[in-house]
Structure formats: C-alpha cells, structure tokens
Amino acid sequence: MMRRKMLWVSPTSCRAENCNTDFSDGMKMKSARYTWCLPFYTAIVAGDWDTVSEFHSYNKGALTAIITSEGESPLHVAVAKRQVNLANELINIMSAEDLSKQRNYGGRTALHIAASDGNIEIVKAIVENDEKLVTIQSKS
C-alpha cells in the first residue's frame, strides 16, 4: 500500500497563484483547521466556480485531492453543501475514472451523498458521466 505524502500549507498563503502544487500523485493536505487550503474550501462551500476554476488552473490534480479530515474531495464537499451548479461544473471536467475513485473515509462517493440527500440533479449529472458509477458500493 502506497503511503501518502503529508504536507502542511498555511491557509493564509494558499491562494491560487501562490500555491502552484501538483496534486496528481494523490497527496493529502492537512492543516489545523482540517482543510489544507481554507480559501479553496470556502470557495467550494460558497459555490464560487470562478475561484475554484482558477485554483484548479494553478494546481493540477486539486479537484481530486482530499481536502477535509473526513477524506472528502472538492466534489464531495460541493455535493454535501448542495452547491448544484459548482458540482455540475466539477462533474463536467472530471473523468469517469476520477469520479469512481473518489471515496471519503467512509467509502462513500459523491453519488452516494447526492442520492442519500435526494439531490436528483446531481445524481443525474454523475450517472450521465458514466452509468457504471451506480454499481459502486459504499463501505458503510
């Protein structure tokens, strides 16, 4: 099993243009506030696509990074916070492979979260990306 590299990033220094980090190797970022980049997390929670998109342009793989202490990706957070437009934007630029690999520490995908929350619009968007995603079982 591959051990993930842990890095500490100050939330105040984590702006899109300053961070410039490649997360494509599955790095997990962590800080005392349980998010490795508070401005990025805040933009997701607020549904601010412009900021999220800018951050992604400077940080390859940021959309598949684990950004919370519960092992959530940006899409998990957007779905849980009911940011439908942002979630749809993320789904549109993510591959089916990325969507299927993203599980939180409970083993749940964004599809599981959307379905359990009754968010039909996000469920449809995810399934339209790849129908096979409905066959993924959660651990819990």
- The string of pLDDT tens digits covering residues 47-86 is 999 999 988 888 878 888 888 888 899 999 999 999 999 9
Better pLDDT: 79 or 1: 79
Tell me which architecture the domain covering 6-135 has in CATH.
Alpha Horseshoe (1.25)
Better pLDDT: 36 or 108: 108
How far from 132 is each of 90, 96, 97, CA to CA, in Å? 18, 9, 10
Q: Read off the pLDDT of residues 116-131 as tens digits, 9 standing for 90 and up.
A: 999 999 999 989 888 7
Alpha helix stretches (DSSP H) within 5-93: 16-19, 38-46, 49-58, 74-80, 84-93
With b for 16 or more beta-carbon neighbours within 10 A and e for fewer, the 7-18 pattern comes to eebebeebbbee
pLDDT band at 29 (very low <50, low <70, confident <90, very high): very low
User: Per-domain residue ranges for the chain?
Assistant: 6-135
The whole-number pLDDT of residue 48 equals 95
Rounded to two decimals, the pTM is 0.75
Mean pLDDT across the chain, nearest whole number?
77
SS3 category, 105:
coil
Joined tokens for residue 24? 């494509």
